[in-house]
Structure 1
């Protein structure tokens, strides 16, 4: 079954600096090369808010979402790619999620 895979990428680094556009361009090009296309939700950044257990204050981030459709979910490849993105974007964790999708 087809899968829609979404990657949540932060706009700012941990010190509050805007991350370079080249990071996003590279991810876009890699995903287009591997999956043949991409949908990028970049016009209005989404706002993520979360609270870690034990923290008094919620954390937040402005994000963009990249989305691809794959005919199958290659979990080991995505786990490796996520680790690579976490290093490139200097993040403890980048969220990548997959959902089955039926193309109508």
Structure 2
């Protein structure tokens, strides 16, 4: 079993928030494909990173998680690229973690 996490930004690079419909679209597609989803949206997480010698960059995110028996890397790569266009980002983090059901 795999746990796939998607870290989605709340705002574009100019600080404008994305409409709720954008998140509902992603949620609905993942629910349809994987049969369920967990969303962490009430208390946005904050990502901080450095780009070269510049000041730290901050981003507020929501996290979506799905579980999948098989990890279809080709599908996830294409989906991540769609998310990058949808959210107008250079990169959207989509990560997979192997997991055991207890």
Bin of the TM-score, shorter chain as denominator length: over 0.9
**Structure 1 residues not aligned, in runs of 5+:** none
1:5 Cα offset (Å) = 0.2
What are the equivalent positions in structure 2 for 1:1-104 lying under 5 Å apart? 2-52=1-51, 54-104=52-102
Aligned length: 102
Q: Quick one: distance in 2 between partners of 1:75 and 1:17?
A: 31
Aligned-residue CA RMSD in angstroms? Answer: 0.6
Q: Which runs of at least 4 in structure 1 moved beyond 3 Å after TM superposition?
A: none
Q: C-alpha distance in 2, partners of 1:33/1:74?
A: 16
* Structure 2 stretches lacking a partner, 5+ long: none
Cα distance in 2 between the residues matched to 1:56 and 1:30: 37
Normalized against structure 1, the TM-score is what? 0.96
